[in-house]
Chain A
C-alpha cells in the first residue's frame, strides 16, 4: 500500500511541477463558463440595418425610428436602388435591409393592407433568422400600439410561464454540457495520453517490471486526474451559481455522486484508448476526434438532439455525455430526485463496466 501511495505522489508531483499545464487545467473551466455566459449567446445587438424607404411618409418614418430606438439595430444608411442592397451585403455593412413599399401609409389607411419587405443577408443564416424575428417583433408591437384606439374585443391572451429558467438565461443550457465536456477532456483525453506516453518512451515496461501490480499502475496514473476533474466540476457549479445564479435545486450529494460516476466512466474510456494507441499522437487524435467533437456536438450540449436526423439521434445514445447531461439538468435545474434519473445512471454504470472489462481484456492480450 505504501508503495502505491508513493507512486501516486510521484504522479501528482509530475503534474504539479508543470505550472503552465496546471494553469490551463484550472483556467479552462473558468474561461469556458465566461465564454458561454457572455459571448456565445444567441442574442443580437447593434445589427446594421439599411433602409429603403420608397414612400417616405409619416408611417414609414415613424416605423424606422421605432426600429432604431429598439436597441437591437443601428442604421447602416438609406438607399434608393435595388443594386445597393447587394453592395451593402457584400461588404458586410448591413445585415438587413427594410423596404417600405410605395404609398405605405396610404395603403395602410385606405386599403387596410400594407407590406414591409425584410431582406436579410442569409449567408449568416443564424443572424438573419434572429434579426428577422426581432424586427418582426418590433414592427408588430409598434403597429399594434398605433391601432390601440381601435377596440380589440374577443381575444385570447396568452400567459407564458418559463419553467426551470424564468429569466430565460442562455447559460442554463450550457452549464451541464460544459461539465460533461471538461470532465471528458481531463479524464479521458489526458489519461489516455499520459499512459500512452509511458508506453512510447518505454518506461511502461520499467513500471511493469517493478513490484507494482498492473492495476496499481493504472490506478496510480488516474488518481490525480480524478481529483482534478472533480475539482473542475465543482468549480463550474460554483461559478455558475456565483456569476450567473444557476441553482442546484436538487441534492448536491446526488450531483457529486453522479459526477464521480461519470468521471470513472471517462477514465475507463481513457484507459481503453491507451491500450489500443501506440503513440501519443494516435491517442490524441483518437480522443480529440473520436471523443471531443462528438461530445460537443452529439450530446445535446449545444444542439438539441431532437432536431437531429434519426440516425444521429440513434448514434447519440452511445455518447456517455448525453446521459450525464440529462442527469445534471435534472438535478441542478429541475430539482428532481433519483426517480427521474435512475435509467440514465444505470446506462452510465453499464458503460463503465463495459469499458473496464474491455481494457482489462486488451491489457491481458498485450501482456501475453
Chain B
C-alpha cells in the first residue's frame, strides 16, 4: 500500500506540473460541452421553402398561407418560374419546393382532386423524411378545411378526428439539448480518462524512465494501479464538473441517485482506462498509441448510440456493442439522470461492465512487460 501511495504522489505531481493539463481538464471540456450541445441539435428549425405557384388561385393561395402559418416553414422564394426554384435547390438555398401547376384549383372542382408537386433535397435523408411528414400533415389539415368550409362536409371526415396525443416523459418539452448533453458528457469523460492514461504510460516508455522502474521490486499491479487511479480521479472530477455545468446551463435534470451514477462511473472508468492501459502496453510510441486509440474511440462512440437509437442497430452491431463499454455508459447515464432508474434497473449493465473491467485490466497487467 505504501508503495502505491509513493507512486501516486509522483503521478499527481507530474500531472499537475504539466502545463497542458489544466486547460485540458478545465477549459476544453467546458467549451466542448457548451459548443457541441448547441451544435449537435437534432431539432429542425425553419425549413426553407420555395413556392412555385403557377395557378395563383384562391385554393393555391390558401394552401401557401397554411405553410406560411406553420412554425416549421419559412418561405424564401415565391415565383412562377420552376427553373428558378430548382436552381435555388441545387445551390442549397432552399430545402424544398412546393409546386402548384396551372389548373390546380380547376381540377379540384371538376375532378374532385388535384395534384401537387413537392421536390425535396434528399441528400440528408432524415431531414427529407421529416420535411415530407410535415408537408403531409399540413396538406391533410388543408384538405379537412377545404371540405368543411367550401363543401360543407363537416363531420364526414373521421380521420382527422382521431386525435393522437403525444406525451414526452422525463423530458416533457422534448429538449434535445438535455439528450445531447448527457451524450457529450460521456464522450468527454471517456476521452480525457482513456487518452491521458494511455499517453502517460507510453510517454514514460518512450522517455526510458520505465526501465528504471522495471529494475525495482515494484509489482506490475502496483505500477498499473498508480497509473490508473490519478486519471480515474480526474475523470470522476470531470463528470462532477460536467454535471454542474449541465445543471446550471441547460437545466439538466438529475432525477436518480448521484451515488449510483458515480458508482457506475467508477466501474466504467476501470473498463475504459483499462483499454487505454492495454493499448499502451502494446504500443511503443505515442504516435502508434494515438492511431489505435483514435480508431477504437471513434468506433466505440459512433456505435454507442450517442445520437442514433442503439437498440435499432443491426443485430451484428448490437452483438459488437456487448463489448462496447461506451454503449453501456451512454444508456445508463441517461437512465439514472433523466429517469431515476435504480440499481435493479441497471444491474445487467453494471455486472457486464464489471466483467469487462476485470478482463481488460487482467490483460493490461499481464501484458505489461517488466522483462523483455
Contacts and interface: CB of A to CB of B under 8 A. Distances in A.
Interface of A: 18, 20-21, 24-25, 27-28, 31-32, 35-36, 38-47, 85, 89-92, 95, 108, 112-130, 132-133, 136-137, 139-140, 143-144, 147, 150, 152-166, 168-170, 172-173, 185, 190, 193-194, 197, 279-282, 284-285, 288-289, 293, 297-298, 302-304, 306-309, 312, 326, 329, 333-334, 336, 340
Given A125-B168, A165-B123, A308-B38, 14 more contacts: A28-B298, A46-B311, A46-B312, A47-B311, A92-B345, A120-B166, A156-B116, A158-B139, A163-B121, A165-B122, A168-B125, A289-B28, A297-B39, A306-B48
B165 A115 contact: yes
A112 B167 contact: no
B120 A160 contact: yes
B169 A170 contact: no
Interface stretch (B214-222, B259-267, B334-342, B359-367): B334-342
Nearest to A162: B122
B136 A92 contact: no
Given A126-B307, A297-B39, A336-B90, A155 B312 contact: no
21 contacts: A32-B298, A39-B314, A41-B313, A90-B342, A112-B161, A125-B174, A147-B159, A150-B156, A154-B108, A154-B151, A156-B142, A158-B116, A159-B118, A163-B122, A165-B125, A185-B294, A281-B199, A293-B36, A297-B39, A306-B48, A307-B44
Contact of A123 (B171, B283, B288, B309): B171
Contacts of B58: none
Given A91-B341, A125-B42, A326-B92, A114 B162 contact: yes
A125 B46 CA distance: 20
Given A157-B115, A161-B119, A118 B165 contact: yes
Interface stretch (B1-9, B126-134, B229-237): B126-134
Given A127-B312, A139-B164, A303-B42, A280 B286 contact: yes
Contact of A119 (B35, B169, B302, B309): B169
B147 interface: yes
Nearest to B126: A42
Contacts of B71: none
Interface residues of B, number: 111
Contact of A118 (B151, B164, B170, B286): B164
A25 to B, nearest CB: 7
Contact of A308 (B41, B121, B168): B41
B272 interface: no
Contact of B113 (A25, A35, A137, A157): A157
Leading 6 A-B pairs by shortest Cβ distance = A123-B338, A122-B168, A162-B122, A122-B171, A125-B179, A165-B122
A163 B91 CA distance: 13
A47 B162 CA distance: 23
A173 B39 CA distance: 17
A193 B176 CA distance: 36
Interface string B22-58: 0010001000100110111111111010000000000
B287 A164 contact: no
A193 to B, nearest CB: 6
Given A123-B170, A159-B116, A169 B125 contact: yes
Given A168-B125, A336-B90, A160 B168 contact: no
Contacts of A143: 158-159, 162
Contacts, number: 310
Contacts of A288: 195, 294
Contacts of A280: 286-287
A201 to B, nearest CB: 9
Contact of B199 (A25, A91, A284): A284
B322 interface: no
Contact of B122 (A46, A127, A168): A168
Contacts of A144: 159
A118 B167 contact: yes
Contact of A163 (B120, B146, B150, B151): B120
A296 to B, nearest CB: 9
A308 B180 CA distance: 13
Interface string B183-201: 0000000000001000100
B224 interface: no
Contacts of B195: 288
Contact of A158 (B46, B118, B292): B118
Contact of A170 (B113, B126, B157): B126
A276 to B, nearest CB: 13
A170 B292 contact: no
Contact of B161 (A90, A113, A307): A113
Contacts of B174: 122, 125, 128-129
Interface in B249-292: 283, 285-288, 290-292
B132 A173 contact: no
B344 to A, nearest CB: 7
B203 interface: yes
B120 A306 contact: no
B179 A124 contact: yes
Interface in B330-372: 331, 334-335, 337-342, 344-345
Contacts of A36: 302
B219 to A, nearest CB: 28
B139 A91 contact: no
A132 B166 contact: yes
B308 A40 contact: yes
Nearest to B124: A173
Nearest to A125: B179
Contacts of A150: 156-158
Given A139-B162, A159-B115, A92 B341 contact: yes
A160 B132 contact: yes
A303 B147 CA distance: 39
A5 B153 CA distance: 83
Which of B117, B157, B285, B298 gathers the greatest number of chain A CB atoms within 10 Å? B298
B112 interface: yes
Contact of A20 (B112, B167, B292): B292
A120 B89 contact: no
